[in-house]
Structure formats: C-alpha cells, structure tokens
Amino acid sequence: MQQDYKFLDMPGLLATRVTRQDPDNREVWILDEGWYDRTRRLYASLLSFFQDNALIRAPASWSSIDEVVLMFSDLTDDGQALVRSGAEETWVCGFDRPGSKKDYANTKSLQRALDKIRRPVS
C-alpha cells in the first residue's frame, strides 16, 4: 500500500512567500501578488477537472480554493492512477514557463491521459 500524502495543500502553497523585483526600483523586492492569483486560478481549474471527472471520493467540503487540502487517499482509483501517470504534474508545470499564455481551462492533456486510464483493456 502506498503511503498517504497531501496531493494538494493550498494553505501550504499560498503560505509561500513569492517576491519579484519592483519595476520602479530594481533594488527592492516586493510580494508578487500576481503569482498568488495565477496559482489560485491554476489549481481551481485542476480541482474542477478532478471534480467534473469524479476523481475525488467525497464531495467538496471547502468554501474557497484557499482552504483545499486533498490527500492522495481522497482520490478515486482513477484519480490516483492519473497522478501516478505524471499527467497532472506535467500539466501544472506547463504553466510555469516564463511568458506562458496557456489557458488554465485547457485540460485536454489531462483528459487524454484519463481516457487512456479508463480505456477498457482488450
């Protein structure tokens, strides 16, 4: 049996201090508020994909994306298989490239990976 772990820990993720250089004074570093907004939107899209595809065992019990903590054991067998396949991590990392214009709502690669998992073995 695989050891359980936090698959998604938004409070922990959002507690990370992310800074950038102040565009008006390159010697000063300021909190990168945009990073927090992008992170919320990215993981809200991922969470919606997992919910829409019944990859989470229990119904949502959080009122805000900022509160979401999902354990690996909270995922269905298909959800766990998707995570183990690396598709979710590849999808998330695709947005981490500088200047990425990818749409957070585009979950086609996740859907393809899930379809492979759910495809009946012949």
Q: Which pLDDT tens digit goes with each residue over 32-61?
A: 999 999 999 999 999 999 999 999 998 777
- pLDDT bin (cut points 50, 70, 90) of residue 102 is confident
In this prediction the pTM is: 0.87
How long a stretch of residues is the chain? 122
- Angle value at C-alpha 11, between 7 and 14, nearest 5 degrees: 105
Q: What is the mean pLDDT of residues 76-100?
A: 89
pLDDT of the residue at 60: 75
CA distances from 14 to 8, 37, 66, 67 (A): 11, 10, 7, 10
Examine the pLDDT at 18 and tell me if it is beyond 90.
Answer: yes
